[in-house]
Each structure stands twice: as structure tokens, then as C-alpha cells.
Amino acid sequence: MKTLKSYVCGGWHEADGGFATLYNPSTEEAIAQASSQGVDFGAALAYARERGGSALRELDFLARGELLKNMSKALYEKRDELIALSLENTGTTRRDAKFDLDGATGTLHYYGALASALGPNKVIVDGEGQKLGRSARFWGEHVRVPLRGAAVLINAFNFPAWGFAEKAAAAILAGMPVIIKPATSTAMVTERCIEILVEADVVPDGVMSLICGSAGDLLSRLDSQDVLAFTGSADTALKLKSGDNLLAQCTRVNVEADSLNSAVLAGDVEPSSETWGLFLNDVFREITQKSGQKCTAVRRIFIPAEHADTIQAELAQRMGDVVVGNPTDPSVTMGPLASDAQLADAIEGTKSLAAESKIVHGHGERVDGAGAEAGKGYFFAPTLLRNDDTGADDLVHRREVFGPVATLLPYDGSAEKAAELVAMGGGSLVASYYSDSDDNAATFLAAAGPFSGRIYLGSEKMAEQAPGSGVALPQSLHGGPGRAGGGEELGGLRALNLYTQRVALQGSRKMLQNLTGNTSEE
């Protein structure tokens, strides 16, 4: 059985006890163990801050961009090996493994290329400068400079590659070293990614550290120059961000948490139209991709009551065609859930939802998987529920079942009602609204916008090009208000805000221009 190591203080650390076991979710075979026992978290943090931070701040944005592109290239070269590892440790199909790995390399490359927008500088100019005195000699500008600490990146189990890469890309471009802590159950993929990057020698010493296993006392050592970027459940987020030390130090914390994402079919969409087809394709993919273990997966499906039966039948038919099983079997189209804990949670969660909604496809229990031994593997078939009379207190607006489970919720077809229902989720990462009416879209935006990190507007005009609502594109913000954690990641250069301090500069215009290279007029 493989023992996962941590990478701290410029070297690999192997623990001698306190191990958690990692399993192949299709066979339940123990495949690795992980522990951070013996890691000196104080030394690891100091090494990242001092060695890694100074090395990065020596580089201008263009050089940091090259670094990110080299990271992307090194990982891409080992794509096939990482896909195979992902099948073994996370249970994803090849297609779902590519989604994670290509998301990782694509985002690293995107931020590498974005560096050209910042030029050969080390300071980001934030907005236009302006005259502060009677004449333009007394001038004001805003700039952003990297924090002096380390960025601790704690990730969920579902995206072991993309999860760390999207955070690391923004932190490194901004000029902050990173300490990566993957979820233990799927840490094999992340550990191998870091090993590949170390072997490729593309990242300066101290810029990248890895903790496999528990985070120990790391968070109680962070100060106001450090950052915690967290992705995971709302319960863990609450515990971590309300820790005494983080509160006392005012350490920056960004949270990406649970989300009851919705897909809405507007009343103007005609059956069998292109937008109707797009809605069905997107919703089906967003329920089943990665076995529903996606923070952006669709959990609530709002459909005009008059079309409810037709849509239910369409989705049930597609779900019935899904072959659940071991992804090494070529017939399989959806893998298992990632762990026994996730399987137990999906079963329990579906049962809770079924107390208020009716199961109309599937049964919310474990199933045997194709290509897998009977009774083994964390397999769970796609499950569809329906609730014709939902209210704000219903569990469907509060309980995220992190698996291939979604609920159909018929409504009157109006944009106002759709927004009201979406808002019952208490803040989500993404709401998708399928409509060919600009008026409906505008009404929906005004009322659902405050409750959504992203609104995906599905229409016939974009049907051919759009990848679906579940992809966290680096150009667009990823995060959401309320239940979704209140955080913001990605969104192009906006992602660097978390890792930089905004400084209001006041002084002579000439001096400020020399400092920033910003010669734009008022």
C-alpha cells in the first residue's frame, strides 16, 4: 500500500503513524495511507513565507506567468498517468477524470497567459488615478501588492487536481506561496501532481508545499498576512473560519461551500425548441457528471407545471440509460461515489428529501455496479424526486445531497416566481435560466441576482457553444453568497484580490507614475 508524503521545507516528509486509509471506491480495496504526523507546521509555514515568498516577489508578473505555464505543461505531460490514478482513487470515469485534470492545466495556463495583461511589473494598478489637490500635482491612485504570508489552500475531495490548481494559479500570480491541503480520501491525485511539479523543477523552492493528512495546528499559526482559501462543506467552513486565531488575527478567509444550484425552464420556452433541448442536455449532465459530486451540480429543477410530466419522462429515460459501475469497465458511464461516507450521506440525504418529495426515478439506495464485485463499491444510481407544492421551509432548499440526486419542482412559469424559488436556496454558486426572452431574463436577473454567484442564461443563440452551467470557467467568478460561503474565486484578475493588499497611494503625480508605470490621464 502506498504511503502518501507531505512536501514541506523543501523536502518530502513521511509520517510514521496516525494514518488514514484511502480506498478504491469501486472495489473498496485499501490503496494508500496518509498522515501528517511529525510535520513541523511552524517550520513549514516559516519556510513558505520566507523562502517561497521572497522567491516569488523577485519575479515580475511575466516571470510568474511563465512559471504557471510550465506547471500546466508538466502536469499535462503526465495526463494519462493522472487519469488512471483518478479512476483508482476517486472512482471517476475517464471523461470525468479529464474534466478535473484539464480544468487544472487549463486554469494554470489561463492565469499564465493573463500575466501579460499585468506586464513586467510587481505592483497591480487598481483603477484610474485622480487629482486630489487643487492641481494635478497631488495625485491619488490605488495599487495592489502581494501579502507577505502564505496562502493555505484547503480543498474538497471532488476535484483533487482542479481544486488546488485554481487557487494556486491566482495566489502564485499574485506573488504568494501556497501550502496545499487536499481532502484525505482523494489525496493520491494531488500528491502525484505535486510530485510531478517537484520532479519537473518548475516551481522555486518554498513556493509550493503539500500537507497530506490532517492540517494539524497550521491554522492556529496563521496571521494577518496569511490567507486561508477553503473549499468544502458549510459545517467545516463555519468551524474553521470561526477559529479563535483566525478571528483574532483578522486572517483573510475565502469560503466556497455547499450550494443548492438550480436550473429553471422559463415559461416562454416551447417544447422541442433548441432551448428546450439545451435545458434537458444540461440538466442531465449536471446531475450525473462526476456522479453528481460537483459543487455546481443542479439540485433543484424548476419547470413550468404544464410541462412537468413530459420533462420528468425525458429525464427519467436518460437516467435509466446510465450504466453505473467500475470506470475501468468500458460500458460504464457513471462511477461510484468517492467514499463510504459519501455513499451513506447520499442515502440518508435522499431519504430526508423523500419525506417531502416523491421519488420518481431511482430509489436512493446503494446498487451493485457493472464490472464490480456484488456487494462491493460505493455505487448509487441517478435519482430524481418531484415536489409539486414546494414552500420555503422544504428541505429541498436546504439539504445538499452530494450525489446524482435532483428534485423537479413545477412552478407557474413566470420569471418572478422562478427567482423567488431560486432565492429559497439561501445563496448559490450558479442558477441557470433557460429562456429566449430578454424581458424574462432581465426580471430574473434583478430578483435572483443577489442570491447567485453566477447566472447562466441558456438560449438558442448560445446553445452550440456553451459548455453547460457546471464549468467554473477561469474568466468568470466562482463563488456565491450565503449558503455558498460568500466567497469569490477566479473571475480573471479579480482572483488576485484575495492574495494582495489594496493600497491607496497619495503623492506627487510624477512619483506615483514612476512607481506604477501608470500614465493614464484622469
> Which residues in the 473-492 window bind ligand NAP by CB under 6 A?
484-485
Q: All 3 cell numbers of residue 297?
A: 451540480
Catalytic hit among 141, 286, 295, 314: 295
Q: What kind and span of H or E run contains 274?
A: helix 274-288
> Which residues in the 147-166 window bind ligand NAP by CB under 6 A?
154-158
> Which residues in the 291-330 window bind ligand NAP by CB under 6 A?
295
- Judged by CB under 6 A, the residue of 72, 86, 209, 231 near ligand NAP is 231
Crossing angle for the helix pair 162-174 and 187-200, to the nearest 10 degrees: 40
- Judged by CB under 6 A, the residue of 70, 225, 236, 414 near ligand NAP is 236
CB of 184 to ligand NAP, least distance (A): 4
How far is Cα 239 from Cα 219, in angstroms, rounded to an integer? Answer: 11
Q: What kind and span of H or E run contains 456?
A: strand 452-458
> Per CB under 6 A, which region of 59-67, 255-263, 272-280, 510-518 contacts ligand NAP?
255-263
Task: CB nearer to ligand NAP: give 436 or 488.
Answer: 488
Task: CB nearer to ligand NAP: give 157 or 284.
Answer: 157
CB of 138 to ligand NAP, least distance (A): 44
Task: CB nearer to ligand NAP: give 61 or 157.
Answer: 157
DSSP state, residue 19: P
b/e sequence 307-346, b meaning 16+ C-beta within 10 Å = bbeebbebbeebbeebebbbbbeeebbbbbbbbbebbebb
CB of 216 to ligand NAP, least distance (A): 9
CA distances from residue 363 to 107, 348, 370 in whole angstroms, order as listed: 37, 12, 18
How far is Cα 421 from Cα 119, in angstroms, rounded to an integer? Answer: 45
Catalytic hit among 88, 166, 256, 314: 256
> Which residues in the 19-58 window bind ligand NAP by CB under 6 A?
none
CB of 337 to ligand NAP, least distance (A): 11
> Per CB under 6 A, which region of 42-50, 78-86, 245-253, 257-265 contacts ligand NAP?
257-265
Contact between 476 and 152 under an 8 Å Cβ cutoff? The reply is no
> Which residues in the 319-378 window bind ligand NAP by CB under 6 A?
none
CB of 448 to ligand NAP, least distance (A): 18
- Judged by CB under 6 A, the residue of 224, 225, 233, 273 near ligand NAP is 233
CB of 168 to ligand NAP, least distance (A): 15
Task: CB nearer to ligand NAP: give 97 or 266.
Answer: 97
Task: CB nearer to ligand NAP: give 245 or 508.
Answer: 245
Q: All 3 cell numbers of residue 474?
A: 477561469
Task: CB nearer to ligand NAP: give 67 or 152.
Answer: 152
CB of 84 to ligand NAP, least distance (A): 22
How far is Cα 247 from Cα 223, in angstroms, rounded to an integer? Answer: 10
Task: CB nearer to ligand NAP: give 353 or 415.
Answer: 353
- Judged by CB under 6 A, the residue of 44, 48, 429, 455 near ligand NAP is 429
Crossing angle for the helix pair 415-423 and 438-448, to the nearest 10 degrees: 30
Contact between 362 and 403 under an 8 Å Cβ cutoff? The reply is no
CA distances from residue 348 to 295, 342, 405, 483 in whole angstroms, order as listed: 19, 10, 12, 20
Q: State how far Cα 289 lies from the chain centre.
A: 14
Contact between 159 and 341 under an 8 Å Cβ cutoff? The reply is no
Residue 295 known to be catalytic? yes
3-state helix, strand, coil in the chain (%, to 5): 40, 20, 40
Residue 250 known to be catalytic? no
CB of 453 to ligand NAP, least distance (A): 9
Task: CB nearer to ligand NAP: give 405 or 415.
Answer: 405
- Judged by CB under 6 A, the residue of 232, 349, 458, 468 near ligand NAP is 232
Instruction: For residue 67, count other CB atoms closer than 10 A to its CB.
Output: 22
Task: CB nearer to ligand NAP: give 105 or 184.
Answer: 184
Residue sitting closest to ligand NAP (CB): 232
Find residue 406's DSSP bridge partners.
384
How far is Cα 32 from Cα 283, in angstroms, rounded to an integer? Answer: 35
DSSP state, residue 333: S
Quick note: the x/- pattern for ligand NAP over 162-191, rule CB under 6 A, is -------------------xxxxx------
Task: CB nearer to ligand NAP: give 9 or 183.
Answer: 183
Crossing angle for the helix pair 61-77 and 79-90, to the nearest 10 degrees: 70
What is the size of the binding site for ligand NAP (CB under 6 A)?
28
CB of 127 to ligand NAP, least distance (A): 28
Q: How many helices (H) and strands (E) does the chain have?
A: 15, 23
257 counts as binding ligand NAP under rule CB under 6 A: yes
- Cα–Cα–Cα angle for 101, 106, 111, rounded to 5 degrees: 135
Binding site for ligand NAP (CB under 6 A): 154-158, 181-185, 214-215, 231-233, 236, 239-240, 256-259, 295, 400, 402, 429, 484-485
Catalytic residues: 256, 295
